[in-house]
Amino acid sequence: MRTAPKVTLIIGAIMLIGSIIAVVAGIGSTDFDGEDVFTGDAPTTWDAELEWKSLYSVYVEEGSEVNVEIANGDSYNRFIPCEEDRSCQEWNDREGYTYIGDISVEDDGNYQIEFSGEGNVVVLETDIGGFLTAGIGMWCGCCSVLVLFVGLIMALVMKDNAPAQILVMPQGGGQVSFAAQPASYTPGQPVIMNQEVSFQPPLQSDQPWEPPQSGS
């Protein structure tokens, strides 16, 4: 096998092993239940230290109406109502409460979260860093399979150019002529050469032999 297919296959194998490790580590480090980081009655304010790798789900007491706003937020650091991404029913699994959306930030830091209206509010934090790690691992796994496939195709197509061997069997008194004389050669024995050879058979006459004519 040539060098290029070998290198490609090795790279693909390393990527595959790395992706498996990333998926296992990412899923293993994920807390699927989350943790309540804030509980209060609106109207109220929450001075929070938020991280980009965490998702902050907001639940309000059933039958109450509460609005959420990040006082010092922007288009990248804001409250996302569940109606916007159509996830209202997907995460509405807390008994006695209704899921209304998520607080999402792209910049780590301190934020002031304002809850207006009336009703009890609970904020659930879920660390999504493990999900991101597992997702990157899955993506790398797909790429590694592609690299391995390319390496396999290269290994099948790119054959080694080994010189062809020629077996020469001299017959009778024939002579063997070599482009490069082998180290040892015994007349009448077979010779294996990786280079061009030519064989010259003994000269033969096509005319039948006739005895000499005697004088009259």
Tens digits of per-residue pLDDT, 12-51?
Answer: 888 888 878 777 776 666 666 678 889 999 999 999 899 8
**What's the mean pLDDT in 146-174?**
67
Topology (CATH level 3) of domain 33-126: Jelly Rolls (2.60.120)
Residue 201: strand, helix, or coil: coil
Q: What pTM value is reported for the model?
A: 0.53
Q: What is the pLDDT of residue 189?
A: 58
Contact 66, 115 (CB under 8 A): yes
Predicted local distance difference test score (pLDDT) of residue 69: 92
- Residue-wise pLDDT for 170-200, tens only, equals 555 555 554 444 545 565 555 555 544 454 5
User: What is the structure's pLDDT at 185?
Assistant: 53
Residue among 156, 161, 162 at smallest CA distance from 8: 156
